[in-house]
């Protein structure tokens, strides 16, 4: 039996697994279906690569909604500060921005990939590009290697699955790792797009495409339930198909997939600094001071320009109506709209636009201290293929770095002590 460690996938998790395995004395071999390593990294953070988050570990864990405890050992093995040091030691200077998001100083994702690729070269990692893997070789509960697309068998003592999920399939994330895992006897939890925008029913949403809102509260409600499923303050935007932006992406990961089947409704508090009573008092004062001011002018004082015609459309009373003619029920409807601007969510956008995939290999079947399968000896998992995901801000990439590092280190120990 060869003493090689095969890593399927040359993304963030796969590259780090290979580096860690070689650093620990293993012979690491990457099989990557794309023409280059780290293809998905080039598009993260809009090409700037928000590679981790510099928050302390308590805040860090608060940003991981699914299976955070499973990741304790991985983060202990290789933390966010370790990743920052790793890049700087390999020639990539780092900066920390708002929300403790970490980026390369150059704002170029390619610098992150170059730093890791350089470290792989120094450790003697073998990289096979344009090499698609068809499946695993498993016998008597032990992994023996892989089968390439052309049918060729490649023997090894350990295999690390680091193929990613289903998001951005053009970068090579097509669910191969989930198939390999199922064929090895593992359970893969329900998969769905996460950190993704929403489609909306109302035509007036698309009329505001391009508009970004800051410092608003987005609340998401399910049918017949008064308590919101999600309610947070932040930024969001309107598109030709619905709503997007940081608040929406977070909601897409925090709201249960089951609720999307029954229909969800959104409400935006456009004036979070004012209560309903304070808004009422403001309009009453405006009416006393400028009784001849019309509704359009009032709305222009309260809202972004592109929202004004939409408000007039929804309120359905004449835009030249002066404030002194505004009825109490009309004023109340206006306040309702300012404090809970409504829209209907018809579903999430697809994997082509999703930052990550929700779901993956069931963590109960993986040893959190090593990332090794509990079902197949010598088989390890790293990155998005595992059922762990986080919110935006560099947290998901750190999961990839940390699980990759731990899987590689563990696989090297397994191989060298075999």
Position 318 pLDDT exceeds 90? no
Residue 224 burial by Cβ neighbours in a 10 Å radius (0-12, 13-18, 19+): exposed
Position 1 pLDDT exceeds 60? no
Q: What is the pLDDT of residues 165-181, one digit of tens each?
A: 999 888 888 999 999 99
The residue-averaged pLDDT of 226-231 equals 94
* pLDDT of the residue at 220: 97
Taking the mean position of all CA atoms in its chain, how far away is CA 351?
11
State the Cα angle at 53 between 37 and 247, rounded to 5°.
100
What's the predicted TM-score (pTM) here? 0.93
Strand, helix or coil at 198?
strand
- Which residues neighbour 163 within 8 Å (Cβ) at sequence distance 6 or greater? 8, 9, 11, 14, 172, 173, 175, 176, 177, 180, 383, 385
- Mean pLDDT, all residues of the chain: 95
Q: What is the pLDDT of residues 92-112, one digit of tens each?
A: 999 999 999 999 999 999 999
* pLDDT of the residue at 171: 83
* pLDDT of the residue at 43: 87
Residue 271: its H or E element = none
The residue-averaged pLDDT of 11-34 equals 97
The residue-averaged pLDDT of 376-392 equals 97
Q: What is the pLDDT of residues 35-49, one digit of tens each?
A: 999 999 998 888 899
Strand, helix or coil at 325?
helix
If pLDDT is split at 50, 70 and 90, which confidence band does 320 have? Answer: confident
The residue-averaged pLDDT of 316-338 equals 90
- Which residues neighbour 390 within 8 Å (Cβ) at sequence distance 6 or greater? 63, 64, 65, 253, 396, 398, 399
Backbone phi and psi for residue 366, each to the nearest 5 degrees, phi listed first: -125, 135
């Amino acid at each position: 039996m060869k003493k090689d460690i095969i890593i399927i996938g040359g993304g963030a998790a796969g590259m780090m697994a290979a580096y860690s395995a070689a650093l620990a004395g293993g012979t690491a071999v990457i099989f990557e279906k794309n023409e280059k390593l780290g293809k998905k990294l080039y598009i993260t953070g809009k090409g700037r690569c928000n590679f981790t988050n510099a928050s302390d570990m308590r805040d860090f864990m608060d940003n991981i909604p699914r299976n955070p405890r499973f990741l304790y050992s991985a983060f202990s093995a290789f933390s966010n500060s370790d990743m920052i040091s790793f890049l700087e030691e390999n020639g990539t200077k780092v900066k920390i921005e708002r929300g403790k998001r970490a980026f390369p100083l150059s704002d170029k994702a390619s610098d992150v990939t170059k730093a890791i690729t350089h470290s792989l070269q120094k450790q003697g990692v073998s990289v096979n590009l344009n090499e698609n893997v068809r499946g695993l070789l498993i016998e008597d509960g032990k992994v023996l290697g892989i089968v390439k697309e052309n049918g060729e068998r490649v023997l090894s003592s350990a295999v690390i699955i680091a193929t990613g999920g289903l998001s951005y399939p053009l970068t090579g994330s097509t669910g191969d790792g989930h198939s390999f895992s199922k064929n090895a006897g593992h359970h893969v939890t329900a998969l769905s797009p996460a950190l993704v925008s929403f489609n909306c029913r109302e035509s007036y949403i698309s009329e505001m495409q391009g508009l970004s809102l800051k410092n608003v509260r987005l609340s998401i409600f399910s049918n017949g339930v008064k308590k919101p499923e999600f309610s947070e303050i932040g930024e969001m935007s309107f598109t030709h198909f619905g709503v997007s932006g940081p608040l929406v992406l977070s909601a897409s990961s925090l709201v249960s997939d089951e609720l999307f089947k029954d229909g969800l409704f959104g409400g935006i508090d456009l004036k979070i600094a004012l209560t309903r009573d304070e808004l009422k008092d403001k309009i009453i004062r405006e009416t006393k001071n400028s009784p001849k001011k019309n509704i359009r002018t009032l709305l222009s004082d309260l809202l972004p320009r592109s929202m004004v015609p939409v408000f007039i459309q929804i309120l359905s009373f004449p835009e030249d109506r002066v404030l002194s003619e505004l009825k109490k029920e009309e004023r109340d409807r206006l306040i309702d709209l300012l404090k809970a601007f409504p829209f209907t969510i018809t579903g999430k956008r697809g994997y082509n636009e999703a930052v990550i995939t929700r779901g993956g290999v069931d963590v109960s079947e993986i040893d959190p201290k090593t990332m090794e399968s509990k079902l197949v000896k010598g088989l390890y998992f790293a990155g998005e293929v595992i059922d762990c995901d986080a919110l935006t801000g560099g947290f998901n990439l750190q999961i990839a770095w940390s699980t990759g590092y731990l899987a590689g280190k563990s696989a090297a120990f397994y191989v060298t002590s075999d």
